[in-house]
Amino acid sequence: MTDLVSSASSPIPFTPAERQRYRRHLQLAEIGEVGQARLRAARVLVVGAGGLGCPILQYLAAAGVGTLGLADADNVELTNLPRQILYGPADVGQPKIEAAARALARLNNLVAYELHPMRVNPDNVRALVAAYDVVVDGSDNFPTRYLLNDACVSLGKPLVSGAIYKFEGQVSVFNYQGGPTYRCLFPEPPSAAEAPDCNTTGVLNVLPGLIGTVQATEALKVVLGLGDVLSGRLWLLDTLSFQSRTLRFKRDPVQSQLNLDTANPADYFDASCAPVASNNILTASELRVLLASTEPPLLLDVRNPLEHQRRHLPGAVLLPLPQLAARAAEVPRHGPVVVYCQSGVRSAQAMELLRGLGHDNVRTLSGGIEEF
């Protein structure tokens, strides 16, 4: 955040209207004029203008963050209104970021609102994230979370992350001053069976407001360099009991290095679109039997080199998943081949990729090396 510090070292004087608007911040010794100038100089990207994005945007705009980027491709729907409190009935059918920008401008017209009517994807994420100081993730799906994490690692940007499910929510800050990344806490995306579907799962309407407000708080702390940021800690809230707890986690030397150039690109797409046929899946006991046979399979490890170095099955050939498409010709088309990873997610993706290229001799190890 050195760019914000330098921007605030010789701040532009506040106008009388700004002084009046931000008086309660200026009265805080921990913020004052220098801190408010940091906020005015800051550029914060909010991905998702839905349940989480609405309170995040409201409070960051009201706080005087100088430039807010809004990235979302959806239109307002009637079902959004109970929890996405920037919108009203007249906004139904309108692009969310346009309706949000109108509401935010009424709240604070001193803020610059930059609209990005797009779904964040591997083709646009690098340029988008590079233009901002802090990224706040208000998305509702795992591919976007992994993509934003990897982009923030590549570009050295802090990521304020939140998630909600039914009556529960969580918040953490990743990639902050050398702290853990999202992958340190969640190394692999959940399987299609494990991932909740936001379109069919209900949510208590006030929950996004509670979690989004905490995300906005953490984003302000990051910009201001204030307090104990939720880095290396996951804050969890259960609204039914109103119990909260904080889990600590550490930076993983392997996962923390994964970025846009080294991570598995399949993590950025919905795995539920590619179901795996059951006859192509081997259990650990079935693989042991095959390995003891007269024609044992070739073992193909699709993890990264550090994972392979830590532990691998005897005789396994390392071929990391990000390289697999380019090096598929190295995989034999005759004789049994079994691909494996840590938990079975990446190997299933690798098997589908190879079978799509005509490698009908490939199967995957269910549960990965963790189950072997």
Residue 298 φ/ψ region, left for φ over 0, alpha for ψ in the -120 to 50 degree band, beta for the rest: beta
Q: Are residues 113 and 236 in the same domain?
A: yes
Q: Which of 45, 60, 52, 66 is nearest to 159 (CA)?
A: 45
pLDDT at 4: 46
Domain range holding 329?
A: 274-371
Rounded-to-integer distance, Cα 126 and Cα 121, Å: 9
- Name the packing angle between helices 32-41 and 207-224 (round to 10°): 110
- Chunked mean pLDDT (size 10), the chain, 372 residues: 46 91 97 97 98 98 98 94 97 96 97 96 95 97 95 98 95 97 92 59 94 98 98 96 94 95 85 55 92 94 91 95 90 95 88 89 91 84
Max CA separation in the chain (angstroms): 85
Beta carbons of 101 and 223 less than 8 angstroms apart: no
Those residues with Cβ within 8 angstroms of residue 146's Cβ, 6 or more apart along the chain or in another chain: 182, 183, 189, 263, 267, 268
Give domain status of residue 1, yes or no. Answer: no
What are the tokens at 351?
């098997």
Q: Are residues 203 and 292 in the same domain?
A: no
Pair type for strands 112-116 and 134-137: unpaired
Q: Are residues 63 and 208 in the same domain?
A: yes
Q: Are residues 224 and 284 in the same domain?
A: no
pLDDT at 71: 97
- Name the packing angle between helices 207-224 and 53-63 (round to 10°): 40
Give, as one character, the DSSP assignment of residue 191: P
In this prediction the pTM is 0.73
Indicate the residue among 205, 234, 259 that finishes a domain.
259
Give, as one character, the DSSP assignment of residue 199: T
DSSP 57-94: HHHHHHHT-SEEEEE--PBP-GGGTTT-TT--GGGTTS
Q: Are residues 112 and 185 in the same domain?
A: yes
Beta carbons of 69 and 131 less than 8 angstroms apart: yes
Q: Are residues 249 and 327 in the same domain?
A: no
From the number of C-beta atoms within 10 Å of its C-beta (0-12, 13-18, 19+), residue 97 rates as buried
Q: Which of 111, 75, 82 is nearest to 96 (CA)?
A: 75
Q: Are residues 216 and 145 in the same domain?
A: yes
Q: Are residues 146 and 55 in the same domain?
A: yes
Q: Could you give the residue numbers annotated as active site?
A: 198, 341
Q: Are residues 173 and 298 in the same domain?
A: no
> What's the structural domain count of the chain?
2
Rounded-to-integer distance, Cα 168 and Cα 189, Å: 19
| CATH, residue 112 | 3.40.50.720
